[in-house]
Every structure is written in structure tokens, then in C-alpha cells.
Structure 1
Amino acid sequence: MKQAILLLSFGTPRQPSDLLPYLTSIRRGKIPTERELKVLTARYDAIGQWDNKLLQTMGEDQKKTLKSLLAIDAMYLAYLHMPNSMEQAIESIATAGYTSIVCIVTSPFYSMVGTGAYERKLHSILRAYPDISCEIIKSWWNRPQFFEYWRSQLMAANPLQADTACIFSAHSVPTSTVGSYEDEVMSASNQIAKMVGLNHWYQAWQSAAPYGEWLGPTIESVIEQALIDGAKRIVCIPFGFVSDHVEILYDNDIICRNIVENAGATYERLPMPNGNTLFMEAMAKAIRERINK
């Protein structure tokens, strides 16, 4: 059996002209209005997306780290909403003669609208490749390297300092699709808090779409509550995400920062893993376990 590893990521625009097809793909073919496109453009402009090669090539860098950790050549990368698309990657894998694929998504937690979206698309694409088997690693957060990364970053932020409020956050999901997602995220934040000796902390959900019913409380409301509770320093821990992108650099570092600083308090946010070797080892470990099972 000839086996390939497929790393799946959301994708990110590299230039302003990418935004229309990118948002159209995210919205399942529904073309955004001129106003919606203008709002999104302003957000990417605000985080310096068009001049930041790190943001534009994050997936490639993570693939390089993972490939090095696994010491394999058969590593492919595909995006859900940008080229190199999942269809393109599967075609390349098939052309190279692979008959088995192990897939892992950069999101550490499984949700129906997150990893589930990749899963459904993979199954649809693979109908045209009956000779290729595929296994999907649905989540990989429960690996020691995941916890050690966030523990070490949080400890470096002096979380036990007086008047400090620590806020753990993950991407919100529609309430109709929560499943085990909320429990798994809460379990992970509890473990990290316990590792650093936090007696009091907050769990929040962020970056929800502006329509429908989404899992809460929102990070904005939690920050406001922490300030009411007397916090003078807010430390955001967006551990449900893996890299710097618009939902971190805009939603956290601009919107959340403004709420905190307008109240006269101090805003801090833990560094994202991006291609950090320790953190990526959690993904590598999950892949090795699946290959060797």
C-alpha cells in the first residue's frame, strides 16, 4: 500500500483580487455584496495581509515543519477555499500512484462546520477515485505537545498576577451543530488552567458569523464581564486556533484590544503556534498513531 499524508487548511487570500472568490467559496457559492466585500477588505488591510509573506504562506510553512518531523516525502497540502484546492491535491496524489491517504486538518478540535466540512468534501471528491482509501484524523488536541505549548506560553505571561483575567477562546459554531465540540474545548481549557494553577478564568467563543444562533458567550461580552469583575489586565488565549490570521489579528488584536484599552485596562494575547515545532509535534504524533495502528 502506497500511502500519502494530506494536510488540510482553510486557506487565506494573498492579494485583494483573491477576496471575491475566497468569500464566495466560504459562502458556498453565494456571491458577497459590494458592502460585504468592502468590510472584509478593510479587515485584511488593517492587519497588513498584502505585505505579510508569513500570513500568505502559513500553510506551506506548517507543511514544511510537519514533513520534517515525520521524515517523509509523501506530504501534500490543500486548502478548503483557495488553490491548491482539495480537488487538485487529490488528483496529484492519484497521479503519483498513492492508494491510501491519511488526512489531518489544522484545526485541533472537531466540529461539524469545521473539520466536518473538510470531511464531507473529501468524501465527495473521492467518489471519483474508488481505488484510493482515506482516513481522516478528526481531532488531535489531546496530545501532550498541544498542552505543553499553551502551558509554557501562558506561564510566560505571568497569569497569576493580581487583577489579571485569563480568557480562553475557540471559534464559535452554530448552536445546532455543537455536538461534542463545546465539551472537548472546555475539557482542554480546564486542563491548561489546571497546569498553570489558575483558580479563576473565563471561556469565550469568537468570530461567529453575523447571522443565526451561535455558541456563546462571545469574547466581547466575556471581556466586558471580566472588566466589571475588576480585571485591569486581560490575557487572551485563543487556543482553539493554530496560527496568525484575520480572526486573531483583527478579531482579537483590534476589536478585543479596543474594548480592553478603552476601559483603561491592559490587553495581551498569547503568541500563536504557527509552525512551532513543539506544537506541530502534536499533529505529527496523531499521524504516526494513525499510520501505526
Structure 2
Amino acid sequence: MSATESTVHDPGTLPDPSTLPDRDPQPPAPYDAVLLVSFGGPEGQDDVLPFLRNVTRGRGIPDERLEEVAHHYRAFGGVSPINAQNRELQAALRAELDARGMDLPVLWGNRNWDPFLTDALREAHAAGHRRLLAVVTSAYSSYSGCRQYREDLAAALEETGLAGEVTIDKVRNYFDHPGFVTPFVEGVRDALLRTRAALPGIDLVRESHVLFVTHSIPTSTAVTSGPPDARLGPEGAYSAQHRAVADVVMASVGGVSDVGTGSAAAQLASVPWSLVYQSRSGAPSTPWLEPDINDAITELAGQGVKAVVIVPIGFVSDHMEVMWDLDEEALTTAREAGLHGERVPTPGVHPAFVTGLVDLVGERVARADGTAGTATGAVSRPALSPLGPWYDVCRPGCCANPRGPRPAVAGLAP
């Protein structure tokens, strides 16, 4: 397949869900707080290098190489938007939980910057919370997007001395939950309509292309993403999940209101699409997932495409890698190639996303009567692709650490 060959969903390329290992839901449990877990980011110029040292801890990367990335942050005053976005999400989750009568405080801790996970766990313990349910701002299966957070939570429990007193579980990976997918469906619809308005007469099917983009990871890590007993193709669960979600988005976009009827709606759903990658780093000799979004845009321009819609489907908010790698670099590549470019928003605090995250909490939290914390008490686990709903508890060896096993919460050992 070329870098930009249209990807059309073939049911044979995804596994029959009945062949995947047991994914029965966990019974509701008496959690007493929600823990929002995220990556973190600097909030001033003086924070940038210390933050990047935290991100790359243990890799021996000198400061002069870190400065190559630091200029992305420095261009925005040294402030990543991710912490402000997490404050908004924390407040939105609290409001939605309150509206449902779910008496659960929402704490927040980061992997790489203040407030750190250790601070959040000490805060939880001081408030009397002993059983936490983590909501991670990463939707997919991969080492860096799932298991590393689970390892960091285990390490934070050890560092704070709370390993025997505080228990942490995690909501399931929500890549194909309606709350995560709906904002992208709406965003792609709106971007295609803007494209049609900006380029009157464009044939969207022949002259536009939707680029679903996510963070590239080493090929060796991609292969081991997901549980060993459910490898989903040559690039593991990570790529399979993204392709499945992109397929759902494109199949759904023609059915969203305000796109017109008949052939106009069908045209939106028929626009070709590809899965591409961004933010590659590391040694050039190490294979990473490809194609890079900028290479894909250049190739599309040579094929007569007039417009691209960029969909950051791998991310939940407009953090630095979205703002720099897509809004600065990818859209500049499109302009220089003579293409009209549109970038779709991430879910952020979209009402559907906030509602969906609280739905995920409701699946796992016990009400007073012992049933799930939903309006009916019934456990509903919606998923829009054949791959879901994903596991409530990670399988043994899921998304293996490339440097060897480490303790991790919310999973079956090892």
C-alpha cells in the first residue's frame, strides 16, 4: 500500500470478536474517588527543560538534544496547553458526576509535571480515599499510552508508601466508545463541509483526502501492543484500533445532521482516507510506524488532491504535539503544496466525551445496591467497532515494556 492509498474497511482484516480472549466486565466495586491521569506539561519557560528531562528520564539524552524539542514549547511561551485542558476536564467530570448523583471527587495527577501522581495519591490518602478508579487521557492500547501509566501508578504507590493502603484500577481503553468517537464524526463532517464551501465545485471523493493521524511509535513496540493472545495484525492492537475507529468515523459522517441528503451525504462518507503518523523521534536506524503525515501530504499533492482534512484521532486534547506538529508543520506542508487544509478538533471537553468518560466510570462503580453506577444499575459497555468493548483489566503481558517487566496496577500479572 502506498503512503496515501485509500483505506477501505475489509471485515476480514479485523478479528472476529468471538475469537478474542474473555472480556467479561468486572463487577461494580465501591470506588471512593476518580483519579484523572495525564502526561503533564510545562507552564513557563523555566519549566521546559526540567519537564523534558522528566519525559526522557533514564535515556541519557543530553540537554542540547532536548533543546531541539524545547523550541516547540518556547514558541508558545514555554506553556503547554495540556494542564489547562486537564483542569477544564477535571471540572467537567466533577460537574457531570454531580449531575448524576455520583458522590465521587475527581483528583488529578501527571506522569511528568506538577501535579505529579505522587502528589495526587497523597492528597487522596489524606482525604480518606482508599480505592481509586483511574481515567487516563489516552484511548488506545500501547506501552506509552496504557501500560506505562499503569507502571507509573504502581511506582507512585511504592514511592508514597501507600501500596498496601490504596488500590488503583483503571477504566477500559475507550478508543471506540461513542463518547470518544462522536466528536471526531462531527469534526470530520464540519471540516468536509468547510472544504466544499472553500473550494466550490470540488469533487470531494476524487479531490480530497482525510488523514487520520496519531503518534508514531517504534514498530517493535507496535507489534507487542495489546495482549499476546490477541495480536491484531502485523502492527498490533495500536494500529488496528486506530484503523477500526477511522472506519467507524467515515461510515458515520454521512449520517450526521446538516450534511444534506442523498448523494451529498453519501459523498462525505465516500471520501478516501488513510492512517498516518506524526512526532517520530529516536535514532533514524530504529523503524517507526509510517507514513509520516508530511510525506503523505506531499504525495497526495502529486496525485491531484486539492484538499486534506487532518484528524488527530490519537489524541484527546489539543496539546503541544497537536498544535506544533499538525497546526504548524502539517498545515504548512499542505499550504506549500498548494492544498486546502482543515484540522479537526480533538474531543477536549466536548459534552459527548465528558459524558462518555463518566459512563465508563459508571460501568465500574457500585451504587448503594451493589449494581453499576448508572441510571438503571445495568452494566452497558458500548463500543462502535468490532474490536470493543476492550478489557476492563489488562491481560497478562499486554503492551509489554520493551525494557523488561515492571510492576503495574490494573492488570493481570505478569
TM-score by length of structure 2 reads 0.66
Amino acid at match of 1:174: P
208, 211, 222: which one aligns with 1:167: 211
Runs of 4+ in 1 over 6 A off after TM superposition: none
Amino acid at match of 2:246: S
1:83 correspondence with 2:114: yes
Partner in structure 1 of residue 281 of structure 2: 209
Distance in 1 between residues matched to 2:244 and 2:79, nearest whole Å: 38
> What is the correspondence of 1:247-258 to structure 2 with a 5 Å cutoff?
247-258=321-332
296, 303, 320: which one aligns with 1:246: 320
Amino acid at match of 1:235: V
Q: Please report how far the alpha carbon of residue 51 of structure 1 lies from its aligned counterpart in structure 2 after TM superposition.
A: 6.9
For structure 2, which runs of at least 5 residues remain unmatched after alignment? 1-29, 197-201, 226-236, 254-268, 366-371, 373-378, 380-414
Richer in helix (by share)? 1
> What is the count of residue pairs matched by the alignment?
291
1:105 correspondence with 2:145: no
Distance in 1 between residues matched to 2:79 and 2:175, nearest whole Å: 31
1:198 correspondence with 2:270: yes
> What is the correspondence of 1:92-131 to structure 2 with a 5 Å cutoff?
92-127=123-158, 128-129=161-162, 130-131=164-165
Distance in 2 between residues matched to 1:261 and 1:201, nearest whole Å: 19
59, 70, 95: which one aligns with 1:41: 70
Q: Deviations over 1:99-134 (max 9, x none)?
A: 211001111112112221110111223343212222
Q: Deviations over 1:134-157 (max 9, x none)?
A: 211241122212222111111111
Partner in structure 1 of residue 301 of structure 2: 227
Q: Please report how far the alpha carbon of residue 230 of structure 1 lies from its aligned counterpart in structure 2 after TM superposition.
A: 1.5
351, 376, 382: which one aligns with 1:277: 351
The more displaced of 236-245 and 134-143 is 134-143
Distance in 2 between residues matched to 1:267 and 1:60, nearest whole Å: 30
Partner in structure 1 of residue 245 of structure 2: 188
- Match of 2:144, SS state, is coil
Partner in structure 2 of residue 145 of structure 1: 179
For the 8 Å contact 2:216–2:288, the answer to whether it is kept is yes
For the 8 Å contact 1:6–1:76, the answer to whether it is kept is yes
Amino acid at match of 1:60: R
Amino acid at match of 2:93: L
Distance in 2 between residues matched to 1:205 and 1:249, nearest whole Å: 15
Alpha-carbon spacing, 1:63–1:141, altered in 2? closer, same or farther (3 Å):
same
Partner in structure 1 of residue 382 of structure 2: none
**Higher alpha-carbon Rg:** 2
Alpha-carbon spacing, 1:44–1:199, altered in 2? closer, same or farther (3 Å):
same
Distance in 2 between residues matched to 1:285 and 1:195, nearest whole Å: 21
Q: Deviations over 1:177-216 (max 9, x none)?
A: 2121111111111110111213411110111223232112
Distance in 1 between residues matched to 2:315 and 2:157, nearest whole Å: 28
Q: Please report how far the alpha carbon of residue 73 of structure 1 lies from its aligned counterpart in structure 2 after TM superposition.
A: 4.6
- Match of 1:170, SS state, is strand
For the 8 Å contact 2:192–2:309, the answer to whether it is kept is no
71, 78, 96: which one aligns with 1:69: 96
Amino acid at match of 1:200: P
Partner in structure 1 of residue 26 of structure 2: none
Amino acid at match of 1:113: S
Richer in strand (by share)? 1
- Match of 2:142, SS state, is coil
Q: Deviations over 1:48-97 (max 9, x none)?
A: 24478x55511111111111112245110001100111111111111211
Q: Please report how far the alpha carbon of residue 233 of structure 1 lies from its aligned counterpart in structure 2 after TM superposition.
A: 0.9
For structure 1, which runs of at least 5 residues remain unmatched after alignment? none
CA RMSD of aligned residues (A): 2.0
Q: Please report how far the alpha carbon of residue 228 of structure 1 lies from its aligned counterpart in structure 2 after TM superposition.
A: 2.1
The more displaced of 130-139 and 75-84 is 130-139
Q: Percent identity?
A: 24
1:266 correspondence with 2:310: no
Distance in 2 between residues matched to 1:275 and 1:242, nearest whole Å: 9
For the 8 Å contact 1:105–1:138, the answer to whether it is kept is no
Alpha-carbon spacing, 1:56–1:84, altered in 2? closer, same or farther (3 Å):
closer
- Match of 1:208, SS state, is coil
Partner in structure 2 of residue 60 of structure 1: 87
40, 51, 72: which one aligns with 1:11: 40
Partner in structure 1 of residue 5 of structure 2: none
